[in-house]
Structure 1
Amino acid sequence: MSGQRERCEREWHELEGEFQELQETHRIYRQKLEELTALQTLCSSSISKHKTRLKDLKRTLQRYKRRASLEEAELVQQIDVTIKERQNIFFDMEAYLPKKNGLYLNLVLGNVSVTLLSNQAKFAYKDEYEKFKLYLTIILLLGAVACQFVLHYRVTDEVFNFLLVWYYCTLTIRESILISNGSRIKGWWVSHHYVSTFLSGVMLTWPNGLIYQKFRSQFLAFSIFQSCVQFLQYYYQRGCLYRLRALGERNHLDLTVEGFQSWMWRGLTFLLPFLFFGHFWQLYNAVTLFKLSSHEECREWQVFVLAITFLVLFLGNFLTTLKVVHTKLQKNRNKAKTP
């Protein structure tokens, strides 16, 4: 008995010592956390003030440049270049500082900070986002194939359309979080997912009937093709991004996107015919739906709204891809002309 009592007392004393150490560690942690919060506030305030002063300086330089001499104009140009570089540095700094959510994230999540403060956390979230896109693309492909060739029921169509709505809604939230953490997603390819969410929601509410059945097979075939192209894009863009990051030409938070951007030019131009074919299929869907909306049996508002939405998707995707290709070809011509 005495041996057991001694062992219990020894273990208690060890636990008591560890508890005291834990309390001290936690005290230091809270102190450092308060110091970190103070530093974050100071950095955010300093960056905001510096950006405001740079804007004022830039306006002053623009006015001064009009009446400056040639030598002075060159100096103004150098300062202007430095200001642009400074703005990029501020962007990278702000990626590691807490900031207010945008309107969309505020509506969805409320005033909750989504800033990831370490590179490890940012990369882990980015990789998880990429895996989510890949896995859902495969699931949507299998779902579209099943609905097209096996499951000819309205309820399975509803499940598929609901999955599309959930997928695109989730993408918009995750992309907003990535943008808050320094990912340079911008332009049409962000808006594209909002439009796709709306389109999928309208498809979900479209009641079964003659007009729905006339468009059903065309929409499912389009979904199959789109999923296949997205699957190809994921693997080839990932390989291209990996190579460019290794060369230091791309940011580590850059993502694969559902479109074509200038950094994909090398090794990915073979995707362009598939992308353009998909864009014109969206136009074909719009034309088909416009014709169905004038059908004597058509009573559903969804038909015309879907036609407009597919037309918006076609214009956004086609014009954006065309602009990227045109800009890249112009740059290549300019490089060829330069001795």
Structure 2
Amino acid sequence: MLLQLERYQREWRELEEEFQQLQETHKVYRQKLEELNNLQTACSSSIRKQKRKLKDLKYSLQRCKHMSSPEESDLIQQINTQIKDRQNVFFDMEAYLPKRNGLYLNLVLGNVNVTLLSNQAKFAYKDEYEKFKLYLTIILLLGAVACRFILHYRVTDEVFNFLLVWYYCTLTIRESILISNGSRIKGWWVSHHYVSTFLSGVMLTWPDGLMYQMFRNQFLAFSIFQSCVQFLQYYYQSGCLYRLRALGKRNHLDLTVEGFQSWMWRGLTFLLPFLFFGHFWQLYNAITLFELSRHTECKEWQVFVLALTFLLLFLGNFLTTLKVVHTKLQKNKDEMKKL
């Protein structure tokens, strides 16, 4: 018994020593954390001051440009180029500094700091986002096939539509967090998911009836095609991004998107016919719904609203893809002229 007590006392002394070390380590950690917060505040303040001064300088240069000589114009152009480069540096710096959430994140998450401070954490979150998109695309594809060919029940349609709403809502939140951490996804491909969330929500509220049954199979067939195209896009875009990142031509937080981007041009142009076919299928959905809204039996407001939403998706997707293709062709044409 005495030997056991001595052993327990020895173990307690070891625990005491470890606890003292833990307290010291935690004290140092809190000091470093305070230093980190002070450095973050100082960096954020300096960046804001620099941005204001650069904005004033840029405005002054624009005023001087009209009255300058050719040599002075060249100097002004050089300074403007350097200002643009400096703004890009600020963007990269701010990706590692806490910042206020946008309106959408404030509404969803509140005033929570979503900035990931290490490259490892940023890349891990981005990879998780990509895997989430891939897995949900496969699940949505299987769900659409099941609803179209096997499960002809309204309740299964509701589950599928609810899954669409949840998927697009989650994408918008995750994309907003990635944008806060330095991802350069922007433009229509951000708005596209908000519009898709709204469309899926309206589909979810559409009551069963003649109008719904007349459009059901067309919508499910469109969902199957869309999931297949998104599945192809994920694999080819991720491979393309991997090569471009290895060459240092793309940011490590760039994402795969539903549309066509200029960096996809080489080796991925075969996707364009599928994308344009999907865009015009959205237009076909809009026309079908507009015709259904004029049907004598149509009493649901969802029909006309869905028609407008599909038309908006078609215009946004088609015009954005067309713009990217035109810009890329023009750029290639200019490069050929220089040669």
Partner of 1:206: 206
The reply to whether residue 115 of structure 1 matches residue 106 of structure 2 is no
C-alpha distance in 1 between matches for 2:325 and 2:118: 35
Deviation of 1:8 (Å): 1.1
Tell me the amino acid that sits aligned with residue 107 of structure 2.
L
Residue 335 (structure 2) aligns with: 335
What is the identity, as a one-letter code, of the residue corresponding to 1:120? Q
Range 64-73 or range 130-139, more displaced: 64-73
Shift of 1:4: 1.4
User: Alpha-carbon deviations, 1:201-250, whole Å to 9, x = none?
Assistant: 00000000001000000000000000000000000000000000000000
Matched with 1:43 is 43
> What is the aligned partner in structure 1 of residue 3 from structure 2?
3
Match of 1:178 in 2: 178
Q: 2:197 is matched by which residue type in structure 1? A: T
* Counterpart residue number, 1:84: 84
1:9 positional shift: 1.2
Asked whether 1:94 is paired with 2:94, we answer yes
Q: Write the distance in 2 (CA, Å) between the matches of 1:42 and 1:212.
A: 58
SS of 1:258's equivalent in the other structure is coil
Quick one: distance in 1 between partners of 2:135 and 2:265? Answer: 26
Post-superposition Cα deviations, 1:33-64, rounded to whole Å, max 9, x if no partner, equal 00000000000000001000000000000001
How many angstroms apart in 2 are the aligned matches of 1:238 and 1:39? 36
Q: How does 1:239-278 map to 2 (within 5 A)?
A: 239-278=239-278
Cα offset, 1:5, TM superposition: 1.8
Residue of structure 1 in register with 2:237 after alignment = 237
| 3-state SS, counterpart of residue 53 of structure 1 | helix
CA drift of 1:6 comes to 1.7
Give the structure 2 partner of residue 290 of structure 1. 290
1:131-164: CA deviation from partner (whole Å, max 9, x where unpaired): 0000000000000000000000000000000000
Aligned counterparts of 2:118 and 2:301: Cα–Cα separation in 1: 48
Cα separation, 1, equivalents of 2:169 and 2:4 = 61
How far apart, CA to CA, are the structure 2 residues paired with 1:9 and 1:106?
A: 53
- Unaligned ranges ≥5, structure 2: none
Q: 2:307 & 2:315 partners in 1: Cα distance? A: 12
Output the CA distance in 2 between the equivalents of 1:215 and 1:12. 73
Cα distance in 2, alignment partners of residues 11 and 158 from structure 1 = 60
- Residue 2 of structure 1, CA deviation: 2.4
Partner Cα distance (1:114, 1:22) in 2: 28
State how far apart, in whole Å, the 2-side matches of 1:5 and 1:305 are. Answer: 78
Structure 2: which amino acid aligns with 1:280?
Answer: F
- Aligned match of 2:222: 222
* % identity of equivalent residues: 84
Separation (CA, whole Å) in 1 of partners of 2:207 and 2:72: 68
State the match for 2:12 in structure 1.
12
Structure 1 stretches of at least 4 aligned residues deviating more than 6 Å after TM superposition = none
In the superposition, the TM-score normalised over structure 1's length comes to 1.00
C-alpha distance in 2 between matches for 1:300 and 1:91 = 47
Instruction: Give 1:153's aligned residue.
Output: 153
How far off is 1:73 after superposition? 0.8
Between the aligned partners of 1:77 and 1:286, the Cα distance in structure 2 is 47
What amino acid is aligned across from residue 108 of structure 1 in structure 2? V
Match of residue 324 from structure 1: 324
1:307 aligns with 2:280: no
The one-letter code of the counterpart of 2:100 is K
